[in-house]
Chain A
Amino acid sequence: MRIEKSAWPLLLPFLLLAAPAAAQEPGEVAPEVDDPERAERLYRAHCGRCHGVQGLGGEGPGLAQLVLPRVADQTQLEGFIRDGIPGTGMPGVRARVLDDDAVALVASYVLWLGAQTAADASGVTGDAERGHDLFWAGGDCASCHIVAGQGTAVGPELTIIGLRRGADYLREALTAPAARLPVARLGVRSGFFEYLPVRIVTDSGDIYNGMRMNEDSFTIQLMTLSGALVSLDKGTIAEMEKLVGHSFMPVTQGLDDDDVEDLVAYLTTLGRGS
């Protein structure tokens, strides 16, 4: 099989860098992709927006890696593509969108991406151990996040964040938290921002700042930073501002680029072992 490299201008430098580690284990058969052009098109249309057009990760984890932690073989991967991973942000593509042949084609393409790629394809260069120390001490992260039962739940639990998100996404979460809030993928609130900061002034002049927990046409529920629940009837609200483009996650002050890389490296290990 053959993939037109020129179709991958962005991937090229990275492939060069990664060349030595990308080699197959002796005796391993390189995965076949029957119709590479169609495979690439389908991957970009259905997976690219979450896993990155080059498989480096984003809202979903990087897929361009030799070993996908939860994928034993192509059959299982096809299952994930068809049915998603229940209870997570990984959706299934319904049968009418991709038939079995197309699912198999995308799966073989994902495996091919991995085989082309170095073990550190997720773009992680930092020192995970140092990241661990920063997280639990200087970075003050645990005052707002729970990892393996430890910490405080102001922001999302990070226990298996390494399985959930790609390195680019994590980097952006630390350096520009407001750029993108996590998006709910389950239930009625599916597709809505989670942790959306909202500022409310009531008819009686009370002011509330908090993150939206839920909302319907008549009421809204907020959680303040201190964990207080605010539940209001919209009929009593004079002003309500949804601060799209803002986050209660502070920009990591006092942390330099290396610190950020180390934190990303640490976060990437969470859920994967080391």
Chain B
Amino acid sequence: MSKWNCTAAAIAAVFALGSATVRPATAQVPYERLVAADSEPESWLTYSGNYASHRFSQLDQINAGNVDDLRVVWAYQMDEGLIETTPIVADGVMYVTEPPSTVTALDARTGKRLWKWTPQMGSDVLHIGFPEVNRGVAILDSTLYVGTLNAHLVALDARSGAVRWDVEVADNAIGFALTLAPLALDGKIIVGVSGAEAGVRGFIDAYDPETGELLWRTYTIPAPGEFGSDTWGGNSWETGGGSTWLTGSYDPELDLLYWPIGNPAPDWNGDLRPGDNLYTDCLLALDPDTGEIVWWFQFTPHDTHDWDANQIQVLVDADWEGEPRKLVVTANRNAFYYVLDRESGEFLHGTEYSKQTWAEGLDENGRPIVIPGTDPTEEGTLVWPSLQGAANWFSPSYSPLTRLFYQPTRIMGSIYYKAEVEYEPGQPFMGGGEQALRGEEASGAVKALDVLTGELQWEFPLQTPPWAGVMATAGNLVFGGSEEGNIFALNAETGEPLWNFQAGGAVRSGPMSYEIDGQQRIVNSAGGTMFVFGLPEG
């Protein structure tokens, strides 16, 4: 007994000479901390940084004046595959996912691994229409939640990575998968599914954090008799898609959950599903206790271009025509920027933010005025934006300081093809495809939009359409990444480039920031490596 104490004391003494830091044995992140995430900028507690999905860091140690001095503090090499993850940092530990569905805990100071958990999945896991990726974990109390490619939701002990429970959310054999970071609310873990390209019927689920029990399920495609079922011809609703594969946002005051919905299936052959196809390509506002749909707004009725609305929904409070109003804004894959009232779902404003050739504009209700002849055909129809859209899953950022909405933008057209298709369980159900214009004919940009009008304030050009998110900081910076391997920082007010690190691989994830031992860190991944940057100390 006393012998052990002696040893422990000796070890502590040795470390005290270096830069030892002692932290709680395990992260304790109750709901109260998640709600108040803005008050602890040293942590990064949810996928998008806060419930309002701002992906904004209040840390300003790294700023427009010194960002030029940034250097790699440590790097972590991941398992092979695409990295689309955003890590979470709580109490000195970073929780990050590696492809395809592995969870790893790292010492946030040194990058040394603490534990690693990999789900047992067969090599025959289906992922139809998307790569083998994972975007991150949720944390609640001392448990982590991860969705897996084979469509399980798994709860892991944050201290050890041991499994607390493991539930099958849906059947991977018919194309369901989980790639999103779950969202932890008060007493609930919310997840959505991928699988529209296999003709699944999408849904949003809430699980009990303690037991894994399903609390509610809300389907995104109404069954016959339910509201909206008349927007589906015949039995098309059964295979209607509407997946829910990106993390939603939450307003604790209104107690409303905002979840974006994916494309209808089959993607490019709309003949098989006449009608508006609710609630595909919609934003849903849900009661988090019951899953009841409180309001909905559809961005792209009867979509034939695969323009999921699975983009991050950003909650902003602002004066609208002289009145304080609670808003939700989003830059949609269909190349329009939308401002909605997030209490009622009322459409307030919409404007084109990237090249598009499919709509003349939006009418007073926000419904697109579609240009005839823009549907896919067997010979191909050239339309902007491309299948991957002007925006996609990669995160925008909103800075409450500049009141700008920063959107990585893909400026690209595609030739869309339509083909015959029949539903077969577990098989691609898309009815066509695309051939994107590339090279000199396509490009990208980080665009800074006025958050209320969507008007362009500045843009920073990218060589090719990006797949990487951005993060604004209180240091008057916007961090981003490019397909060409640049991890960079721009002046948040002007867009002027201030720092660039050539990481040697395409950037496909969202940047985040945390602080450890008084030092701000910037995190982004490229190729197969996650990089953690900081300023030189002392």
Taken residue by residue from 168 to 192, chain A's Cβ proximity to chain B (1 for < 8 Å, 0 otherwise) reads as 0000000000000001100011111
Closest to B377 in A: A45
| CB <8 Å contact, B419 and A217 | no
A272 within 8 A of B: no
Kindly specify which of A1-9, A90-98, A131-139, A156-164 makes contact with the partner chain.
Answer: A90-98
Contact partner, A95, options B428, B437, B500, Cβ 8 Å: B428
Instruction: List residues of chain A with CB within 8 A of the CB of B420.
Output: 99
Closest to B461 in A: A217
Most central of B431, B433, B462 by chain A CB within 10 Å: B433
Most central of A44, A45, A193, A215 by chain B CB within 10 Å: A45
| CB <8 Å contact, A94 and B484 | no
A69 to chain B: closest CB distance in Å? 26
A45 to B434, CA, bound (A): 11
| CB <8 Å contact, B506 and A188 | yes
| CB <8 Å contact, B378 and A42 | yes
A102 to B431, CA, bound (A): 13
Interface residues of B in 415-473 (CB under 8 A from A): 417, 419-421, 428, 430-435, 437-442, 460-464
| CB <8 Å contact, A190 and B484 | no
Contact partner, A190, options B419, B438, B488, Cβ 8 Å: B438
Do A217 and B486 contact each other (CB < 8 Å), given the known contacts A45-B380, A45-B417, A96-B430?
A: yes
| CB <8 Å contact, B419 and A102 | yes
Instruction: List residues of chain B with CB within 8 A of the CB of A215.
Output: 463, 484
| CB <8 Å contact, A188 and B483 | yes
Instruction: List residues of chain A with CB within 8 A of the CB of B434.
Output: 97
Contact partner, A41, options B378, B431, B440, B463, Cβ 8 Å: B378
Interface residues of A in 198-217 (CB under 8 A from B): 215-217
A235 within 8 A of B: yes
B442 to chain A: closest CB distance in Å? 7
Contact partner, B486, options A41, A93, A191, A216, Cβ 8 Å: A216
A97 to B415, CA, bound (A): 11
A259 to B536, CA, bound (A): 65
A35 to chain B: closest CB distance in Å? 12
| CB <8 Å contact, A217 and B488 | yes
Instruction: List residues of chain A with CB within 8 A of the CB of B378.
Output: 38, 41-42, 45
Do A191 and B440 contact each other (CB < 8 Å), given the known contacts A218-B488, A218-B500?
A: yes
> Which size class do A's interface residues fall under?
20 to 34
A244 within 8 A of B: yes
A261 to B429, CA, bound (A): 49
Contact partner, B497, options A38, A99, A184, A218, Cβ 8 Å: A218
Taken residue by residue from 10 to 48, chain A's Cβ proximity to chain B (1 for < 8 Å, 0 otherwise) reads as 000000000000000000000000000010011011000
> Which size class do B's interface residues fall under?
35 or more
Instruction: List residues of chain B with CB within 8 A of the CB of A244.
Output: 440
Instruction: List residues of chain B with CB within 8 A of the CB of A216.
Output: 463, 482, 484-486, 502
B379 within 8 A of A: yes
A42 to B420, CA, bound (A): 13
| CB <8 Å contact, B439 and A188 | no
| CB <8 Å contact, B432 and A97 | yes
Most central of A96, A98, A102, A235 by chain B CB within 10 Å: A96
Instruction: List residues of chain B with CB within 8 A of the CB of A94.
Output: 433
Taken residue by residue from 87 to 128, chain A's Cβ proximity to chain B (1 for < 8 Å, 0 otherwise) reads as 000000111111100100000000000000000000000000
A193 to B439, CA, bound (A): 7
Most central of B379, B431, B461, B463 by chain A CB within 10 Å: B463
Interface residues of B in 474-528 (CB under 8 A from A): 482-486, 488, 497, 500, 502, 506
Instruction: List residues of chain A with CB within 8 A of the CB of B267.
Output: 96
| CB <8 Å contact, A96 and B442 | no
Contact partner, B379, options A41, A99, A219, Cβ 8 Å: A41
Closest to B436 in A: A191
| CB <8 Å contact, A45 and B439 | no
| CB <8 Å contact, B439 and A191 | yes
| CB <8 Å contact, B482 and A217 | yes
| CB <8 Å contact, A192 and B440 | yes
Closest to A196 in B: B440
Instruction: List residues of chain B with CB within 8 A of the CB of A99.
Output: 419-421
Instruction: List residues of chain A with CB within 8 A of the CB of B485.
Output: 216
Using A96-B419, A193-B439, A235-B497 as known contacts, list a sample of 17 further A-B pairs with CB atoms less than 8 Å apart, ordered by residue number in A: A41-B378, A44-B379, A93-B433, A96-B428, A96-B431, A97-B419, A97-B432, A97-B433, A184-B439, A215-B463, A215-B484, A217-B482, A217-B488, A217-B500, A218-B500, A218-B502, A219-B502
18 A-B residue contacts at CB 8 Å? Answer: A42-B378, A44-B379, A45-B378, A45-B417, A96-B419, A99-B420, A184-B439, A188-B484, A190-B439, A191-B438, A191-B439, A191-B441, A215-B484, A216-B485, A217-B460, A217-B482, A217-B486, A217-B488
Give B contacts to A, CB under 8 Å: 197, 267, 378-380, 417, 419-421, 428, 430-435, 437-442, 460-464, 482-486, 488, 497, 500, 502, 506
In order of increasing CB-CB distance, the 3 nearest A-B pairs are A191-B439, A191-B438, A97-B433
